Structure 1
Amino acid sequence: MGHVSSATTAAPVRNAFREQQRREAHERYLLCARTVFERLGYHGATVADIVEAANGSRATFYAHFRDKADIAACLFERALPAGAAMYHRVAEFPELTREHMRAWLGEQVLGFWAQYRVEVEAVNHAMGADPAVAARHYHWIAEAVRLAEWPGTGERVGLTRATLLVLQLERLCYHWLVRGVEHDRELMLDILADVWFRELTLLREGAPR
């Protein structure tokens, strides 16, 4: 006699399938949003452009995202694990030296910003349009610093100093690598290495309050 599936076993299968469909739709809209933002820019792009690129519907879009600023924020969130891993590598240096700092900045930090240029530009415009996205962005930075596990960031003063250091770097990289403000690359790396080496040394030694 054949096996008859009960309603209780069929329901989880259906729910798992729907969840997979939901995740796939969410990812499709994000990928299409990136393509549209890259082609038209954040301000030139519309929700209709993203929906058309995804071959979807407005109803499906709004089931996943609040608006254009929200999808830009969610797009940037996809880069956060890579950013957190990048900052965590500093804690793995065998020795904190200016040379290690400069190499990390030149190879990994600048590479990260080049790779995620579209996401960074979109979320920066979204922050200007939506204070909630700006608040999310600050939370992301603080969380990335916390996950980096740098010595000295276990207390509030150290965490605040480290967060400000990352915010300063992000502002520079945004204007330099995303908006195209010209800088001498070698000179800028020298200055950044000096600043980061000094600040991380203070964190490790315990900065005065």
Structure 2
Amino acid sequence: MTKSSVDIVVIGGSAGSIPVISELIEALPSPFDFAVVIVLHRSKNVISEMEQILAVKRKEIIVKEPDDKEPIQKKCVYLAPQNYHLLIEETHSFCLDYSEPVSYSRPSIDVTFESIAEIYTEKAVAILLSGANGDGSRGMAEMIARGGIGIVQEPSTAEYPIMPQLALDANAGAKSMTPAQISAYIHTLNV
């Protein structure tokens, strides 16, 4: 896949991933011509200010939670809403789902990765970061099987290495990168 053919980048993370997610958002090319979707494990019964936490110094980048049936737009950064699975429909719009947690999580990284892989196939990049469970491994496999790129944070650089290590163990086709390497890669997309 050439970098210019990327339509969507999906980033999954859990414990220890917020600083890296912030770095990756800052590393987006200016301008960027693809959508970014972030799936982050968060407590479900706590008021979240994650959109403000992930806000960046670059004023042209806005992080927002999508509404159900909202069309996916390039040049936007979306954050999976708290306590909902985030799926993608064939119409390239979001679908919020309240079904059972997957890997103890809602939103589930696997659910979103699998949904994006099905719709965007080889035009997608999936990035899996620090975390303390196996969420994301199955979705990463689906992403790679459908021709997308799978990138996993080098476990030795992760605050919680379980999630990235399990993903690498399960996906020979995934690329292991440090946060700096992932940032450099993202910065070159669609340039």
Settle same-fold status: TM greater than 0.5. Answer: no
- Relative contact order, CA 8 A, sep 6+: which one is greater? 2
Q: Which has the higher strand share?
A: 2
Larger radius of gyration: 1
Task: Give TM-score scaled by structure 2 length.
Answer: 0.27
